[in-house]
Amino acid sequence: MMRNAMMAIGVLGTVLLAGPRGRCEETHAAPAILEPDRTVLVEQQAWGAFNWASFDQDKIVSWAGYQYTVYWATDRVLTVARRCLESDQVQRIRLESYRLAAGFPEGQQNNGHRNTVLGISPGDGRLHLSWDHHANDLNYTRSRAGWITDPPDSIDVADFEPRQAVAPGAPQRVTYPRFFNSADETLYFFYRSGGSGAGNIALFQYDHASGQWDMISDRLFGQEGVYAPWDNSTSRNAYMHDLLFDGTGRLHITWVYREASRSWASNHDLHYAFSDDRGRSWKNNAGRLIADTRQGQRIVLDSPGIAVYEIPVFSWLMNQCAMTLDSRNRPHVATYHMAEPFRPDHLEHNPPADQQHRLNYYHYWRDEHGDWHRSQPLPLPMPRRRPMIVAAPDDTMIIYFTTNEGFQAHVARAADQWSRWQTVRLTGPDLTVNDATKPDRRLLRDQNILSFTVDPRGQKPGRGMAIVDFDVQRLLEALDP
């Protein structure tokens, strides 16, 4: 199924957002709907509880004329789909041996942590899969060699190996697995071991020549340190945004710390570090060495120079949102929180419903001198959902997100130092998701196409799976000058 649209967008109005220094930012709202250039149906019915999460760093990837995604079918069977980018023909295979929360207590099937991710290693032509985790043993498998680089006419379940370990001694109690690639397409794997508020980060590198994984670190972050603003907390968990390599080989990470699992009110501060040796050693925002994993060192709360923007506890800062890099390798982060802390009389996991209107999206970015900047508040429609952020070739920032009325995007140009934001409606309510949905990073880089998975059933009962494509140039041409 395909849909093509070439609708121009007009500007409905301007909202002036006053800054703390008297500066104003403009946010424009567009009444018309851009509509996808293509909408490709993958499966009419899919698992209804979830198939999207902000921690899916790679959920949809392209290589050699095909696009791949992974999801739970309506009967909770792990399913891989392959789309031909030329014809939009979709093929699916069901990995019947891998079912959502098999062997776990009733109710785990609705646990949104238990999602699916994929990655590729072009060096040996494999597709890699990981699925169904919330502090349980690792689930991982991969295709046969050459499956993505010399793609068969038809895909088959026999193309996949049995479930297997990634490396000897790899820690278990796994949550939030992610695959990501360096500029030379070396594949990396990351996950949390342990629980919220007291978890460790494991990081692996894949060697395509041997087909083996090398564990870079089983504890990239340490839990230690005393955080006075949260009752002198002595243990915490680093919640990552995205982990991204730039074109020079530098690996950038941004994160927030959570001090307590019971509430994201304990999240605090934007943190940043980078590595120039593929994750072995880490430097702070000023370029000073703070941890060498080969010496058993870890990034900890008290590592100097890692907190780059103060966001206090009770700001209800959301964890695991999004990061992108622009053409000059500058990190940009999209997240949400309150402008001022709000401490309720009784602490719950979420802020009180009558206070959630105080939450707004924010754009943070690092300049060439290492200084970090923040936008003024950007509208966050209710019910709240995490944002994604991508950079256009001219470094225009596109923060896209889902609402009950479909997808929208806040967009700002680099020429304005990302200070003048316009809001674009990308779809109507027939296309939505129940969380964040990650982009196909290669299709964006190589063809300037913003492509991501959606639910084609919109507000109808049940869930499905589809892929939408937006020509980024068409989106930019629809903006106000």
Instruction: Give pLDDT tens digits for 329-347.
Output: 999 999 999 999 999 999 9
Domain assignment of residue 6, yes or no: no
Please state the rounded mean pLDDT for residues 466-481: 95
Domain assignment of residue 445, yes or no: yes
The encoded tokens of residue 411 equal 């967009």
Q: Which strands form 198-207's sheet, in the order they lie side by side?
A: 174-181, 187-195, 198-207, 212-217
Are the C-beta atoms of 375 and 356 separated by less than 8 Å? no
Question: How would residue 461 be classed by pLDDT, with cut points 50, 70 and 90?
Answer: confident
Q: Which residue has the tokens 């002036």?
A: 16
Please state the rounded mean pLDDT for residues 361-378: 98
Per the prediction, the chain carries an average pLDDT of 92
With CA atoms as reference, report the closest residue to 167 among 208, 134, 216.
Answer: 216
Q: Tell me the residue range of the domain where 447 lies.
A: 13-477
Question: With 70 as the cut, is the pLDDT of residue 14 above it?
Answer: no
Question: With 90 as the cut, is the pLDDT of residue 76 above it?
Answer: yes
**Span between the terminal Cα atoms of the chain, in Å:** 33
Domain assignment of residue 7, yes or no: no
**Helix (H/G/I), strand (E/B), else coil: 21:** coil
Question: How would residue 31 be classed by pLDDT, with cut points 50, 70 and 90?
Answer: low
Domain assignment of residue 303, yes or no: yes
Give the pLDDT of residue 320. 96
Question: With 50 as the cut, is the pLDDT of residue 1 above it?
Answer: no
Question: With 50 as the cut, is the pLDDT of residue 18 above it?
Answer: no
138 residue type, one letter: L
Say which DSSP state 233 is in: B
Of the listed ranges 16-25, 55-64, 181-190, 425-434, the least confidently predicted one is 16-25
Domain assignment of residue 3, yes or no: no
Question: How would residue 392 be classed by pLDDT, with cut points 50, 70 and 90?
Answer: very high
The count of domains in the chain is 1
Query: Comparing 194 with 370, which gets the higher pLDDT?
Result: 370
**Helix (H/G/I), strand (E/B), else coil: 453:** strand
Identify the CATH number of the domain in which residue 394 sits.
2.120.10.10
Question: With 50 as the cut, is the pLDDT of residue 4 above it?
Answer: no
Question: With 50 as the cut, is the pLDDT of residue 8 above it?
Answer: no
Cβ neighbours of 49 (radius 10 Å) = 14
Give the pLDDT of residue 25. 52
The encoded tokens of residue 437 equal 């949905």
pLDDT tens digit string along 138-192?
Answer: 999 999 999 999 999 999 999 999 999 999 999 999 999 999 999 999 999 999 9
Question: With 80 as the cut, is the pLDDT of residue 22 above it?
Answer: no
Domain assignment of residue 274, yes or no: yes
With CA atoms as reference, report the closest residue to 364 among 238, 480, 254.
Answer: 254
Cβ neighbours of 395 (radius 10 Å) = 19
The encoded tokens of residue 399 equal 């923060």
Query: Comparing 145 with 7, which gets the higher pLDDT?
Result: 145
pLDDT tens digit string along 271-318?
Answer: 999 999 999 999 999 999 999 999 999 999 999 999 999 999 999 999
Domain assignment of residue 97, yes or no: yes
Contacts of 467 (CB under 8 A, 6+ apart): 38, 39, 40, 42, 60, 67, 69, 83, 451, 452, 453, 454
Are the C-beta atoms of 402 and 458 separated by less than 8 Å? no
Q: Which strands form 372-374's sheet, in the order they lie side by side?
A: 322-325, 331-338, 359-366, 372-374
Phi, psi for residue 149 in degrees, rounded to 5:
-90, -25
Question: With 70 as the cut, is the pLDDT of residue 26 above it?
Answer: no
Domain assignment of residue 404, yes or no: yes
Are the C-beta atoms of 398 and 475 separated by less than 8 Å? yes
